Structure 1
Amino acid sequence: MYKILANTIFLGKDIHFLPECHSTNDIALDLVRQNQAHEGGIVICAHQTHGKGQRGNHWFSQAGQNLTFSIILKPDFMDISEQFYLNMSISNSIRSIMQDYLPTLKVKWPNDLLVPGVGKLGGILIENTFSGKEWEYAVVGIGLNVNQTVFGSGIPTSLSLMTGSTFNLEELFRLLITRIEQGFIQLRKGKWAEIKSEYLMHLYQLDAWCKYSASGKHFQGKIVGISNEGRLEVLNERGDLCLFDFKEISFLH
């Protein structure tokens, strides 16, 4: 299962498949630390028991039903301050494939995949390693609910729940890796304006007045953009433009 990919340039030529593991990101980071990592290497697991999400959350996945994998990339052509462009590139690539099945799918800042009014389809967690001011590797962890139909908590959904179909995980994996590679090559070529424009085009709650929480206070705000450093640009009711980093603002339903 999950054979080396023939239709890619560098992604998926070194695949580590594990029937079970605690976190594919942790395994991939260990490979990086042990100098056993190659750009394009992938760690994929049939049952991830302690997957990591944003804000320190756990990502729970039913065995053999979903896609949980991590990709090792070397974006050393980018400055550390520009790392959110990698986030946007990965988000765009995954969303574009999933949107073929779920036309209403959105990206919720910074990198959740959300079906508005229904629930979360998946998420992305990028963990970077640096040497001084130089970028060594980026480990891109991806979790997608595909065939799982029963969830213990939260408001998740899956491709199967939304479409009523069962999906071939290996075929979907190949589609995703191919598109992610195309997006990364676009990033290498400096097509950053196009990447950011696409990300904003599918951003959840863009230009809509909604409720948020920050610094212990609730307020009405409107997302108007993303800074080059990846901070969320929110216009409040007083007309002030406020910038928020990860974990500094919460979306209220």
Structure 2
Amino acid sequence: MKLIKLDAIDSTNDFLKGLSNNQSIENFTVVTAESQTKGKGQMGSVWVSEKGKNLTMSVLVNDYLSDISAVFDINIAVSISIIQVLKDLHIPKLSIKWPNDIMSYNKKIGGILIENSIKSNGTIHSIVGIGLNINQTDFTNLPKASSLAKICSTTFDKEKILLMIVEKLKQNIQFWNVNAISMWAKYSDNLFKKGIPMTFLDKNEKYFMGIIQGVSTIGKLEVLLENDSVSDFDIKEIQMLY
């Protein structure tokens, strides 16, 4: 595994993407930064992180996806890898807020942003961006955020966690064909608020009640509605209120 450490960068995803576009680099190359000026989250949001306290990293994953229709598989592999590592570190009450926020109790402690590109030879390259709140304890104006240190009242070794995540991800990808069904089941079992009646906001800004049932094969959230029907929602179509 090649590890590139940066002090400050606009975005580790953008840096790694540019690197992979301009030269041949080994699979599972990792870029990490102490500070990101333009860290990205889902749907164009900004990932805010205190310098030096948290894990901000991007990993190149080549030749994992063979079919773009199965693109959600890599979300499954990455999010479950992180959950498995955090369980090994005894982080309590872990879950995945669809599609790929990492939660402890009702607090967000991490996020994942995966950018896929199809190369001219038909191969699919994935840039896996991971932000994980490790040792930051001040979350003023971020009431839904927390960190490993704040939850567990101790500090953690960021690089050790980075290496654990990459190793677990490599294992899960290597054995994906054997374990795909169980990995999808683990993702479903770890879904935040699954089976609990809750309020949602749709794209027309209308509130409705529903119960999360799971995730479809293409990564849409399956919600049981009050009329006993199940509807599938894309990330731009629904907001979870909790």
- 1:128 is aligned, of 116, 121, 127, to 116
Counterparts in 2 of 1:191-230, with a 5 A limit? 191-215=179-203, 216-230=205-219
* TM superposition score normalised by structure 1: 0.90
Counterpart secondary structure, 1:134: coil
Q: Which residue of 2 aligns with 1:88?
A: 76
- Between the two proteins, what is the percent identity of the paired residues? 33
Question: CA offsets per residue over residues 193-217 of structure 1, 9 Å max, x none?
Answer: 1110010111111111111111321
Counterpart secondary structure, 2:231: strand
Count of aligned residue pairs for this structure pair: 239
TM-superposed CA distance for 1:152, in Å, is 4.0
1:49/1:61 contact within 8 Å kept: no
State the alpha-carbon separation in 2 of the partners of residues 162 and 25 from structure 1: 28
- 2:132 is aligned, of 141, 144, 147, to 144
Question: CA offsets per residue over residues 129-165 of structure 1, 9 Å max, x none?
Answer: 1137934310000000000011243221000000110
1:159 equivalent in alignment to 2:148: yes
1:32/1:137 contact within 8 Å kept: no
Counterpart secondary structure, 2:156: coil
* TM superposition score normalised by structure 2: 0.94
- 1:66 is aligned, of 54, 64, 67, to 54
State the alpha-carbon separation in 2 of the partners of residues 136 and 80 from structure 1: 8
Q: Which amino acid aligns with 1:177?
A: V
* Unaligned 5+ runs, structure 1: 1-12
TM-superposed CA distance for 1:87, in Å, is 0.4
1:170 equivalent in alignment to 2:159: yes
- 2:93 is aligned, of 95, 104, 108, to 104
1:46/1:64 contact within 8 Å kept: yes
2:54/2:158 contact within 8 Å kept: yes
1:88/1:199 contact within 8 Å kept: yes
State the alpha-carbon separation in 2 of the partners of residues 152 and 133 from structure 1: 47
Question: CA offsets per residue over residues 20-57 of structure 1, 9 Å max, x none?
Answer: 11110010110122134321111111112211001211
Q: Which amino acid aligns with 1:179?
A: K
State the alpha-carbon separation in 2 of the partners of residues 168 and 242 from structure 1: 42
Q: Which residue of 2 aligns with 1:4?
A: none
State the alpha-carbon separation in 2 of the partners of residues 157 and 76 from structure 1: 32
State the alpha-carbon separation in 1 of the partners of residues 231 and 124 from structure 2: 32
Query: In 2 relative to 1, CA 205–75 (structure 1 residues): closer, same or farther, beyond 3 Å?
Result: farther
2:28/2:166 contact within 8 Å kept: no
Q: Which amino acid aligns with 2:147?
A: S
Counterparts in 2 of 1:225-240, with a 5 A limit? 225-240=214-229
Quick check: 217-226 or 152-161, which moved more? 152-161
Quick check: 96-105 or 230-239, which moved more? 96-105
Q: Which amino acid aligns with 2:131?
A: G
Question: CA offsets per residue over residues 44-84 of structure 1, 9 Å max, x none?
Answer: 11112211001211011111111100000013553100010
- 2:13 is aligned, of 5, 11, 25, to 25
Query: In 2 relative to 1, CA 224–107 (structure 1 residues): closer, same or farther, beyond 3 Å?
Result: same
1:40 equivalent in alignment to 2:28: yes
2:65/2:71 contact within 8 Å kept: no
Query: In 2 relative to 1, CA 144–26 (structure 1 residues): closer, same or farther, beyond 3 Å?
Result: same
